[in-house]
Structure 1
């Protein structure tokens, strides 16, 4: 005779918004970097770089600085998402994620139909991650004011009189 016991359900602890957003930025960074690395396998890309061209831009210090800033911002967002106070964190994530959506979509510029699936999938996942960041920041839970907490009496109002 076999005795069956109920299997306990897995505990799903609440994850802080900061951690969710930082994890999304981390995922975004991994994808962002790997898409660039995988792009090197595209015929002609490495030859173009060796000849001093990335897409249609000359490889120079200005281009490399712009590219460094481009990857530094999301990398910094991982750290900022965990360390900024809630109000600044929310605003920063809303602004940066909003700006990176069109920036990510721009990566499809000049792509041929042969590469549509590669760019569509990579940009699609990037945009989904950015949308998650936007939604998480937008719906950031608010802490109720101390006077509105249950069981607390509100402080008496101070009335000023002219005199």
Structure 2
């Protein structure tokens, strides 16, 4: 295992790119979960869930949203499992895709009660940009 010593003399270990990507996707997934949980505290949100007066008002929309939100969770596993070429491509593709989605969500959620949602969307955008950067700079075989 590669080790290096930092400025204060503590030993540090080189973390494999696949592990870095898996943890970044884990962070994105957790931010999604926190955002959806905290959204339940927004006034009238739970009433809309009960009355079915919300964005996910039919089975197709609900399935498509579930499919979309399953991607970051599956990318945790794929980042470890897949071979480098396809792994790098999927991380760049989905990293860019989710960055765009989260920036759009941030700008369409600019209300006082959704400040937390804007914060989490921008944080998720920063994380998915990191995913793209790490995947783009995937180390070459020597």
Q: Quickly name the TM-score band, shorter chain normalised.
A: 0.7 to 0.9
Give the 3-state SS of the residue equivalent to 1:59 in structure 2: coil
Following superposition of structure 1 onto structure 2, how do residues 51-130 of structure 1 map, counting pairs within 5 Å? Answer: 51-54=51-54, 57=55, 59-108=57-106, 110-115=108-113, 117-130=115-128
Q: 1:117: Cα distance to partner?
A: 3.0
d(CA) in 2 for partners of 1:136, 1:20:
8
Q: Which has the higher helix share?
A: 2
Map of 1:148 onto structure 2: none
How many corresponding residue pairs?
Answer: 135
d(CA) in 1 for partners of 2:133, 2:87:
13
Measured at CA, do residues 27 and 11 of structure 1 come closer, stay the same or move farther in structure 2, by a change above 3 Å?
same
Map of 1:50 onto structure 2: 50
8 Å CA contact 2:21–2:79 kept in 1: the answer is yes
Measured at CA, do residues 17 and 45 of structure 1 come closer, stay the same or move farther in structure 2, by a change above 3 Å?
same
RMSD: 1.7
Tell me the alpha carbon deviations over residues 25-45 of structure 1, each in whole angstroms, 9 at most, x when there is no partner. 001100111101100100011
Tell me the alpha carbon deviations over residues 69-120 of structure 1, each in whole angstroms, 9 at most, x when there is no partner. 1211111000000010011110110001111111112323543431363233
Measured at CA, do residues 110 and 120 of structure 1 come closer, stay the same or move farther in structure 2, by a change above 3 Å?
closer
Normalising by the residue count of structure 2, what TM-score does the alignment of the two structures yield?
Answer: 0.87
d(CA) in 1 for partners of 2:29, 2:80:
15
> Which of 126, 131, 134 is residue 132 of structure 2 equivalent to?
134
Measured at CA, do residues 143 and 66 of structure 1 come closer, stay the same or move farther in structure 2, by a change above 3 Å?
same
Larger radius of gyration: 1
Tell me the alpha carbon deviations over residues 103-141 of structure 1, each in whole angstroms, 9 at most, x when there is no partner. 112323543431363233111110110011001000011
Tell me the alpha carbon deviations over residues 45-90 of structure 1, each in whole angstroms, 9 at most, x when there is no partner. 1111111122xx3522111101111211111000000010011110
Normalising by the residue count of structure 1, what TM-score does the alignment of the two structures yield?
Answer: 0.77
Measured at CA, do residues 125 and 108 of structure 1 come closer, stay the same or move farther in structure 2, by a change above 3 Å?
closer
106-115 vs 79-88, greater mean Cα deviation: 106-115
